[in-house]
A and B are shown apart, each in its own frame.
Chain A
């Protein structure tokens, strides 16, 4: 988790590459899923809701897993995993990623239950409860804010 601006041992390259790639794809796919959810909340369309769920399952959740596994990998290589009191920037990263994952799961469940309810109502687009979908979109917007905070912590490394 040493920043871009330094030269590191070569063996850290792969986990750092995966960690940063996971973070970028997580931010991009969470933004896209939120866009689909806000559109679904506005017009009640099931196609946007379906696209949001697909983005969450194909993009957001796998990206979070890549980010988190690579973070553990590099923390282990750098010796941070054995510390009783890791630096605060690592703690910020843990809080952002774990709280973020919880919000991603809640958002996915809200979207999934809404889609199931719409299907049970024979696909009546107007039946999509926009408040649940809007809540799911807002949760993803919070995930984005958390990721930007984590990005700030990883690059500036506050003590």
Chain B
């Protein structure tokens, strides 16, 4: 059970990063078709929901870990912020008409904040501070 939860949790994280990689390409000026963008936004959403629900399930399932452990609470706090920052770039790209769109600097900045938060989430999962 734990193995399956862990696999799905990590697979969700991979889906989340896959969405983020596509958004990064757009931030660098790549033209991604809107139909493809929809797939990446879906992956981003699946990743966000998956890492959270499966992460909570793992914290409950594994002996020695609890939801109120510091590293779990840090992960939840980071998760709550990353959604808002990560959503802005694909939304703005779609609103601007897709391929060839010029994105406002604030939107691109939000994207880079989302990238940093995802890196912090990954570091938190591995270092597990105060575990």
Contacts and interface: CB of A to CB of B under 8 A. Distances in A.
Contacts of A55: 25
A148 B18 CA distance: 13
A23 interface: yes
Contacts of B17: 24-25, 27-28
B14 A23 contact: yes
A54 B25 CA distance: 10
A116 to B, nearest CB: 21
B61 to A, nearest CB: 9
Interface string A1-41: 00111010010010011001101110111011001000100
Interface in B7-58: 7, 9-11, 13-14, 17-22, 25, 30-33, 36, 39, 58
A90 to B, nearest CB: 16
A59 B36 contact: no
B18 A28 contact: yes
Given A7-B131, A28-B14, A148-B14, 19 more contacts: A3-B6, A4-B126, A5-B6, A17-B122, A20-B10, A23-B14, A25-B17, A28-B17, A28-B21, A31-B18, A31-B22, A32-B25, A35-B22, A51-B30, A147-B14, A148-B11, A151-B10, A155-B3, A156-B7
Q: For the complex, would chain B's binding face be called helix, strand, loop or mixed by DSSP majority?
A: helix
Given A17-B123, A28-B22, A4 B6 contact: yes
B7 A24 contact: no
Given A4-B6, A5-B58, A32-B22, A27 B14 contact: yes
A113 interface: no
B14 A151 contact: yes
Interface of B: 2-4, 6-7, 9-11, 13-14, 17-22, 25, 30-33, 36, 39, 58, 62, 64, 119, 122-123, 125-128, 131
Q: For the complex, would chain A's binding face be called helix, strand, loop or mixed by DSSP majority?
A: helix
B22 A20 contact: no
B50 to A, nearest CB: 13
> 6 tightest A-B contacts by CB?
A28-B21, A24-B17, A28-B18, A156-B3, A155-B7, A155-B6
A38 B79 CA distance: 33
A47 interface: yes
Contacts of A24: 13-14, 17-18, 122
9 contacts: A4-B125, A16-B126, A25-B21, A27-B17, A28-B21, A32-B18, A32-B22, A32-B25, A39-B33
Contacts of A154: 10
A152 interface: yes
A69 to B, nearest CB: 17
